[in-house]
Amino acid sequence: MELSGKIIAVLPAREGISKAGNPWKTQEYVLETHDQYPRKMCFNLFGADKISQFNIQIGEEVTVSFDIDCREWQGRWFNDIRAWKVERAVANVAGGQPVEGVPFPPPAASPVDFTATDENDDLPF
């Protein structure tokens, strides 16, 4: 699944040690869509490598690819929205160099000159 919008909150990272003795780290983010009635989604990244790889900041326009899962704890059920890919929105080309992963935009076509007339023009209008 995929959703695009603006990051409006970056929650504090949480970390710990699993039952198997392995360290873990997770961080949650809140995204707000640009729909007529904006929706908010809280998603998380799991793993210090993913958190540092995507380096999400407040105010960024992103598209988040995610999976939804549900888990039970003490008789209650909780949804888990885990992102597996985060792409920043297309940024402006600065200094003539493309932004990483964003190709140069196509060149603008030259305007057609409709003022020139041809004496051999046989169109009736």
Write the pLDDT tens digit of every residue in 58-68: 999 999 999 99
What residue ranges do the domains of the chain occupy?
2-88
What pLDDT, on a 0 to 100 scale, did the predictor assign at position 16? Answer: 94
| Rounded alpha-carbon distances, angstroms, from residue 69 to 4, 83, 87, 102 | 19, 11, 21, 32
Q: Residue 110's pLDDT band (boundaries 50, 70, 90)?
A: low
103 burial (CB, 10 Å; 0-12 / 13-18 / 19+) is exposed
pLDDT digits (tens, 9 = 90+) for 23-57: 999 999 999 999 999 999 999 999 999 999 999 99
Q: Which of 30-34, 85-89, 108-112 has the lowest mean pLDDT?
A: 108-112
Q: How far is CA 74 from the centre of its chain?
A: 34
CATH number of 2-88: 2.40.50.140
pLDDT at 89: 84
Cα separation, 68 vs 40, whole angstroms:
15
